[in-house]
Amino acid sequence: MNNIIKNSRRIVIKVGTSTLTYPSGKINFRHMGNLCRVITDLQNSGREVTLVTSAAIGVGMGKLGVEKRPQDTSRKQALAAVGQCELMFLYDKLFGEYNQTVAQILLTADVVDSEITRNNVINTFTRLLELGIIPIVNENDTVATAELEGRRIGDNDTLSAIVAKLIGAETLVLMTDIDGLYTANPAEVPNATLIPVVPEITPQIVKLAGKPGSRLGTGGMATKISAARIATAAGIPCCVIQGADPENLYRLFDGESIGTLFLPMREETK
């Protein structure tokens, strides 16, 4: 299976809020710059990379000096609008340092509900990838409120799996603030061990995921399990890896076993 990951050409990488920002919501420029460098390098090696990014609300909070994530949807939407503008400005600037062109795509999870909309999205991705452009995807929080209201269908982990399925990706990578799925919460159980491979997402695996996550984001291991379920059901392996060091992407695509790999479902079990 590591060879399948190593040989993947079309990949989707999802990066979370905790990877892109400090706890204050201020952008972690070092991490973001390193991420852009590594992704450009992967692109230059002959891969087709699509980046799904979180952090619009977190970045908006940092830019406007908001310390506590608001509860009401309209304020979250305003923060997301401010933060998304700042995010894309930075992505364009940082990728531009390596002569890599990027494109913004704002989606909602119901993009698959209409055949016309689905085909339009697929055609856009296809042409961008053919042109060597890296699509940068986020949920359109102005019109999609599921994530903002705390309903799981709206999280970007799920969105990344939907995108991977739409574009026929060969690998989905979820970068997060822990090393992968553990036998217990490592923050509470010191002797918890990393699970390197998950052949099948069973109720026991779902239970291990626990509750969702950070103060600034909406994700957590539970949403990553949900994303892995969508991806693996479509025959796409899903890897959950530590996002603090973007160079973990090199290790993963060099065939090294890191993080947790969710194996794609066999054809007869789909």
Binding residues for ATP: 14, 176-177, 218-224
User: Looking at residue 182, what DSSP letter applies?
Assistant: B
Considering only CA atoms, which of 54, 5, 42 is closest in space to residue 169?
5
CA 76 – CA 186 distance, rounded (Å): 31
| Residues placed in the known binding site | 14, 54, 141, 156, 176-177, 218-224
* Token pair for 270: 């789909």
CA distances from 239 to 97, 104, 173, 186 (A): 28, 24, 5, 19
| Residues placed in the known binding site for substrate | 54, 141, 156
User: Looking at residue 234, what DSSP letter applies?
Assistant: T
* Token pair for 25: 């919501």
- What torsion, rounded to 10 degrees, do the Cα atoms 176, 106, 6, 193 define? 20
